[in-house]
Protein backbone atom coordinates (compact mmCIF):
# COMPACT_ATOMS: atom_id res chain seq x y z
CA UNK A 1 0.00 0.00 0.00
CA UNK A 2 1.28 3.45 -0.93
CA UNK A 3 2.46 5.44 2.07
CA UNK A 4 2.16 9.22 2.31
CA UNK A 5 4.39 11.74 4.07
CA UNK A 6 4.17 15.47 4.72
CA UNK A 7 7.38 17.39 5.34
CA UNK A 8 6.42 20.53 7.24
CA UNK A 9 9.20 23.10 7.01
CA UNK A 10 12.90 22.51 7.49
CA UNK A 11 16.19 23.23 5.78
CA UNK A 12 18.22 21.62 3.00
CA UNK A 13 18.25 18.30 4.86
CA UNK A 14 14.53 17.94 4.14
CA UNK A 15 15.20 17.92 0.40
CA UNK A 16 17.34 14.81 0.81
CA UNK A 17 14.81 13.30 3.24
CA UNK A 18 12.09 13.74 0.62
CA UNK A 19 14.26 11.99 -1.98
CA UNK A 20 14.91 9.02 0.33
CA UNK A 21 11.22 8.72 1.22
CA UNK A 22 10.20 8.85 -2.44
CA UNK A 23 12.77 6.19 -3.28
CA UNK A 24 11.22 3.99 -0.58
CA UNK A 25 7.73 4.24 -2.03
CA UNK A 26 6.30 7.26 -0.21
CA UNK A 27 4.28 9.96 -1.88
CA UNK A 28 5.73 13.16 -0.41
CA UNK A 29 4.08 16.53 0.04
CA UNK A 30 6.21 19.47 1.17
CA UNK A 31 4.96 22.59 2.95
CA UNK A 32 7.14 25.66 3.44
CA UNK A 33 9.41 25.38 0.40
CA UNK A 34 7.93 28.17 -1.69
CA UNK A 35 11.32 29.57 -2.72
CA UNK A 36 12.29 26.33 -4.46
CA UNK A 37 10.81 26.33 -7.93
CA UNK A 38 10.60 22.56 -8.43
CA UNK A 39 11.29 19.43 -6.38
CA UNK A 40 11.31 16.42 -8.71
CA UNK A 41 10.49 13.74 -6.15
CA UNK A 42 7.87 15.62 -4.11
CA UNK A 43 4.74 17.74 -4.51
CA UNK A 44 4.61 21.21 -2.97
CA UNK A 45 1.33 22.21 -1.32
CA UNK A 46 0.06 25.08 0.80
CA UNK A 47 -0.74 24.51 4.45
CA UNK A 48 -4.47 25.08 3.84
CA UNK A 49 -4.56 21.86 1.76
CA UNK A 50 -3.41 19.75 4.70
CA UNK A 51 -6.92 18.75 5.78
CA UNK A 52 -7.51 16.76 2.61
CA UNK A 53 -4.25 14.78 2.59
CA UNK A 54 -4.08 11.09 3.62
CA UNK A 55 -1.03 11.34 5.89
CA UNK A 56 1.00 8.47 7.35
CA UNK A 57 4.06 10.51 8.40
CA UNK A 58 4.13 14.16 9.44
CA UNK A 59 7.74 15.32 9.63
CA UNK A 60 8.72 18.49 11.47
CA UNK A 61 12.19 20.08 11.25
CA UNK A 62 15.12 18.75 13.27
CA UNK A 63 14.82 21.77 15.58
CA UNK A 64 11.20 20.92 16.41
CA UNK A 65 8.70 23.68 17.22
CA UNK A 66 9.83 27.01 18.64
CA UNK A 67 8.08 29.78 20.57
CA UNK A 68 4.72 30.73 19.13
CA UNK A 69 4.55 27.49 17.14
CA UNK A 70 7.11 28.67 14.58
CA UNK A 71 9.14 26.03 12.79
CA UNK A 72 12.38 26.51 10.93
CA UNK A 73 11.52 27.23 7.29
CA UNK A 74 14.27 29.15 5.42
CA UNK A 75 12.66 28.35 2.06
CA UNK A 76 9.14 29.52 3.01
CA UNK A 77 9.54 33.28 2.81
CA UNK A 78 6.92 33.91 5.49
CA UNK A 79 6.90 32.40 9.00
CA UNK A 80 5.53 28.85 9.09
CA UNK A 81 3.50 27.97 12.20
CA UNK A 82 2.52 24.58 13.59
CA UNK A 83 -0.63 25.08 15.64
CA UNK A 84 -3.13 23.03 17.63
CA UNK A 85 -5.56 23.47 14.73
CA UNK A 86 -3.07 21.89 12.33
CA UNK A 87 -2.32 19.10 14.78
CA UNK A 88 -6.02 18.32 15.04
CA UNK A 89 -6.14 17.67 11.28
CA UNK A 90 -3.61 14.84 11.46
CA UNK A 91 -5.13 11.32 11.39
CA UNK A 92 -4.77 9.15 14.50
CA UNK A 93 -2.69 6.64 12.55
CA UNK A 94 -0.30 9.37 11.44
CA UNK A 95 3.18 9.28 13.02
CA UNK A 96 4.36 12.75 14.07
CA UNK A 97 8.14 13.02 13.80
CA UNK A 98 10.42 15.72 15.22
CA UNK A 99 14.15 15.98 15.70
CA UNK A 100 14.11 17.13 19.32
CA UNK A 101 11.74 17.71 22.23
CA UNK A 102 10.53 21.28 22.76
CA UNK A 103 7.95 22.51 25.32
CA UNK A 104 6.01 24.21 22.52
CA UNK A 105 5.62 20.96 20.60
CA UNK A 106 4.42 18.94 23.60
CA UNK A 107 1.93 21.70 24.38
CA UNK A 108 0.51 21.54 20.85
CA UNK A 109 0.49 17.76 20.39
CA UNK A 110 -1.21 15.65 23.06
CA UNK A 111 -0.10 12.29 21.70
CA UNK A 112 3.02 10.20 21.26
CA UNK A 113 5.74 11.73 19.10
CA UNK A 114 8.71 10.02 17.46
CA UNK A 115 11.85 12.00 18.35
CA UNK A 116 14.72 11.20 16.00
CA UNK A 117 17.49 12.43 18.26
CA UNK A 118 16.40 10.09 21.04
CA UNK A 119 17.68 7.29 18.83
CA UNK A 120 21.23 6.05 19.29
CA UNK A 121 21.77 5.49 15.56
CA UNK A 122 20.82 9.07 14.66
CA UNK A 123 22.97 10.60 17.38
CA UNK A 124 26.05 8.59 16.39
CA UNK A 125 25.67 9.15 12.65
CA UNK A 126 24.93 12.84 13.18
CA UNK A 127 28.03 13.31 15.33
CA UNK A 128 30.20 12.95 12.22
CA UNK A 129 29.00 16.08 10.32
CA UNK A 130 28.78 17.88 13.67
CA UNK A 131 32.45 17.17 14.40
CA UNK A 132 33.51 18.14 10.88
CA UNK A 133 31.55 21.39 11.12
CA UNK A 134 33.21 22.12 14.46
CA UNK A 135 36.64 21.58 12.93
CA UNK A 136 35.72 23.96 10.11
CA UNK A 137 34.68 26.65 12.60
CA UNK A 138 37.90 26.18 14.57
CA UNK A 139 39.99 26.59 11.42
CA UNK A 140 38.06 29.69 10.33
CA UNK A 141 38.05 31.47 13.69
CA UNK A 142 41.56 30.91 15.03
CA UNK A 143 44.87 32.40 13.85
CA UNK A 144 46.73 29.15 14.57
CA UNK A 145 46.80 25.66 13.12
CA UNK A 146 44.71 22.98 14.75
CA UNK A 147 47.84 20.84 14.70
CA UNK A 148 49.58 21.21 18.09
CA UNK A 149 46.83 23.48 19.44
CA UNK A 150 45.44 22.87 22.93
CA UNK A 151 41.83 21.72 22.77
CA UNK A 152 39.44 21.00 25.62
CA UNK A 153 36.27 19.03 24.84
CA UNK A 154 33.70 19.37 27.63
CA UNK A 155 31.62 16.21 27.80
CA UNK A 156 32.43 12.85 26.25
CA UNK A 157 29.04 11.71 25.00
CA UNK A 158 28.36 10.68 21.43
CA UNK A 159 29.19 14.10 19.93
CA UNK A 160 32.08 14.67 22.32
CA UNK A 161 33.70 11.33 21.46
CA UNK A 162 33.60 11.90 17.71
CA UNK A 163 34.73 15.52 18.01
CA UNK A 164 37.61 14.75 20.36
CA UNK A 165 38.79 11.95 18.08
CA UNK A 166 38.69 14.17 14.98
CA UNK A 167 40.67 16.99 16.62
CA UNK A 168 43.16 14.44 17.95
CA UNK A 169 43.58 12.97 14.46
CA UNK A 170 44.23 16.50 13.15
CA UNK A 171 47.19 16.76 15.52
CA UNK A 172 45.73 18.73 18.42
CA UNK A 173 46.54 18.03 22.06
CA UNK A 174 43.09 17.09 23.34
CA UNK A 175 41.90 17.12 26.93
CA UNK A 176 38.35 16.19 27.88
CA UNK A 177 36.20 17.05 30.89
CA UNK A 178 34.09 14.13 32.14
CA UNK A 179 31.87 13.28 35.12
CA UNK A 180 31.94 9.48 35.11
CA UNK A 181 34.80 7.03 35.76
CA UNK A 182 33.71 5.04 32.70
CA UNK A 183 34.14 8.10 30.46
CA UNK A 184 37.49 8.78 32.16
CA UNK A 185 38.64 5.27 31.24
CA UNK A 186 37.35 5.61 27.67
CA UNK A 187 39.29 8.85 27.23
CA UNK A 188 42.51 7.15 28.38
CA UNK A 189 41.87 4.26 25.98
CA UNK A 190 41.53 6.81 23.14
CA UNK A 191 44.82 8.48 24.04
CA UNK A 192 43.14 11.65 25.31
CA UNK A 193 43.92 13.43 28.57
CA UNK A 194 40.82 13.27 30.77
CA UNK A 195 40.00 15.22 33.90
CA UNK A 196 36.90 15.54 36.04
CA UNK A 197 34.49 18.43 35.52
CA UNK A 198 35.31 19.89 38.94
CA UNK A 199 38.85 20.58 37.66
CA UNK A 200 37.68 22.60 34.65
CA UNK A 201 39.02 25.91 36.01
CA UNK A 202 42.52 24.48 36.19
CA UNK A 203 42.67 22.78 32.81
CA UNK A 204 40.99 25.58 30.86
CA UNK A 205 43.81 28.07 31.41
CA UNK A 206 46.01 27.03 28.48
CA UNK A 207 43.25 26.01 26.07
CA UNK A 208 43.23 27.55 22.60
CA UNK A 209 39.86 26.00 21.69
CA UNK A 210 37.10 24.93 24.08
CA UNK A 211 34.31 22.78 22.66
CA UNK A 212 31.25 22.30 24.85
CA UNK A 213 28.79 19.46 24.30
CA UNK A 214 27.02 19.58 27.70
CA UNK A 215 23.44 21.01 27.61
CA UNK A 216 23.74 22.78 30.97
CA UNK A 217 25.75 25.75 32.19
CA UNK A 218 29.33 24.53 32.58
CA UNK A 219 31.33 27.40 31.05
CA UNK A 220 30.34 29.83 33.77
CA UNK A 221 31.62 33.34 34.42
CA UNK A 222 34.20 31.94 36.85
CA UNK A 223 35.46 29.41 34.30
CA UNK A 224 35.59 31.98 31.51
CA UNK A 225 37.67 34.33 33.65
CA UNK A 226 40.39 31.66 33.69
CA UNK A 227 40.60 31.44 29.88
CA UNK A 228 43.15 33.09 27.65
CA UNK A 229 41.85 36.18 25.83
CA UNK A 230 42.59 34.53 22.49
CA UNK A 231 40.63 31.38 23.35
CA UNK A 232 37.75 30.31 21.11
CA UNK A 233 34.61 28.71 22.55
CA UNK A 234 32.48 26.55 20.26
CA UNK A 235 29.29 25.50 22.04
CA UNK A 236 27.47 22.56 20.42
CA UNK A 237 24.81 22.12 23.10
CA UNK A 238 21.15 22.75 22.27
CA UNK A 239 19.44 25.94 23.44
CA UNK A 240 20.35 27.74 25.64
CA UNK A 241 23.80 26.09 25.43
CA UNK A 242 26.29 25.50 28.20
CA UNK A 243 28.14 28.83 28.02
CA UNK A 244 27.62 32.17 29.75
CA UNK A 245 27.78 34.04 26.45
CA UNK A 246 27.37 37.43 28.10
CA UNK A 247 30.37 36.75 30.37
CA UNK A 248 32.41 35.64 27.36
CA UNK A 249 31.53 38.83 25.51
CA UNK A 250 32.54 40.99 28.48
CA UNK A 251 35.81 39.07 28.78
CA UNK A 252 36.58 39.64 25.10
CA UNK A 253 36.50 35.93 24.33
CA UNK A 254 34.90 34.78 21.09
CA UNK A 255 32.09 32.32 21.75
CA UNK A 256 30.08 30.66 18.96
CA UNK A 257 26.83 28.86 19.64
CA UNK A 258 27.07 26.41 16.76
CA UNK A 259 23.58 24.95 16.36
CA UNK A 260 22.51 22.75 13.46
CA UNK A 261 25.99 22.20 12.02
CA UNK A 262 25.06 19.08 10.01
CA UNK A 263 22.38 21.03 8.14
CA UNK A 264 24.79 23.87 7.43
CA UNK A 265 27.98 22.03 6.52
CA UNK A 266 26.77 18.67 5.16
CA UNK A 267 23.02 18.85 4.47
CA UNK A 268 23.04 16.09 1.86
CA UNK A 269 24.76 13.59 4.13
CA UNK A 270 22.75 14.67 7.18
CA UNK A 271 19.50 14.43 5.22
CA UNK A 272 20.41 11.01 3.89
CA UNK A 273 21.06 9.78 7.44
CA UNK A 274 17.71 11.11 8.66
CA UNK A 275 15.80 9.86 5.62
CA UNK A 276 16.93 6.25 6.06
CA UNK A 277 16.31 6.41 9.82
CA UNK A 278 12.79 7.76 9.29
CA UNK A 279 11.96 4.88 6.95
CA UNK A 280 13.28 2.31 9.44
CA UNK A 281 11.79 4.03 12.49
CA UNK A 282 8.33 4.32 10.90
CA UNK A 283 8.41 0.61 10.06
CA UNK A 284 9.40 -0.25 13.65
CA UNK A 285 6.75 2.09 15.09
CA UNK A 286 3.95 0.48 13.07
CA UNK A 287 5.11 -3.05 13.80
CA UNK A 288 5.37 -2.43 17.55
CA UNK A 289 1.86 -0.95 17.64
CA UNK A 290 0.25 -3.41 15.26
CA UNK A 291 -0.67 -0.72 12.76
CATH code, domain with 272: 3.40.50.720
280 and 248 both lie in a single domain: no
- Percentage with pLDDT > 70 across the chain: 99
**244 backbone dihedrals φ, ψ, rounded to 5°:** -80, 90
Query: In the structure, what pLDDT confidence band is assigned to residue 1 with cuts at 50, 70 and 90?
Result: low
Number of domains in the chain: 2
Q: How far apart are CA 260 and CA 133, in angstroms?
A: 9
The tens digit of pLDDT for each residue in 38-65 reads 888 899 988 888 888 889 999 999 989 9
Query: In the structure, what pLDDT confidence band is assigned to residue 286 with cuts at 50, 70 and 90?
Result: confident
105 and 16 both lie in a single domain: yes
275 and 197 both lie in a single domain: no
225 and 157 both lie in a single domain: yes
- Cα 59 to chain centroid distance, Å, stands at 15
Cis peptide before 219 (omega within 30 of 0): no
18 and 35 both lie in a single domain: yes
Q: How far apart are CA 56 and CA 39, in angstroms?
A: 20
Q: What is the CA radius of gyration of the chain?
A: 21
98 and 126 both lie in a single domain: no
151 and 208 both lie in a single domain: yes
Q: Which domain holds residue 23?
A: 3-118+267-289
- pLDDT for residue 134: 97
The tens digit of pLDDT for each residue in 187-214 reads 999 999 999 999 999 999 999 999 999 9
Q: Helices 120-140 and 158-169, interaxial angle, to 10°?
A: 40
**pLDDT of 289 above 80:** no
Amino acid sequence: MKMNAVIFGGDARQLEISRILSKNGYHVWMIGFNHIEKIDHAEQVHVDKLENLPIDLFILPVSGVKEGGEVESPYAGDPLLFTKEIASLLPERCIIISGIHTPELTDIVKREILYLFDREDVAIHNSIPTAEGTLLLAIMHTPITIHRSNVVVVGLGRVGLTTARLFQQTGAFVKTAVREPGKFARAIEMGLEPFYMEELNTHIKNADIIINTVPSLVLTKDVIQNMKKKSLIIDLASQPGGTDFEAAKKAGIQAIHALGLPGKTAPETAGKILGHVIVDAAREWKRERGL
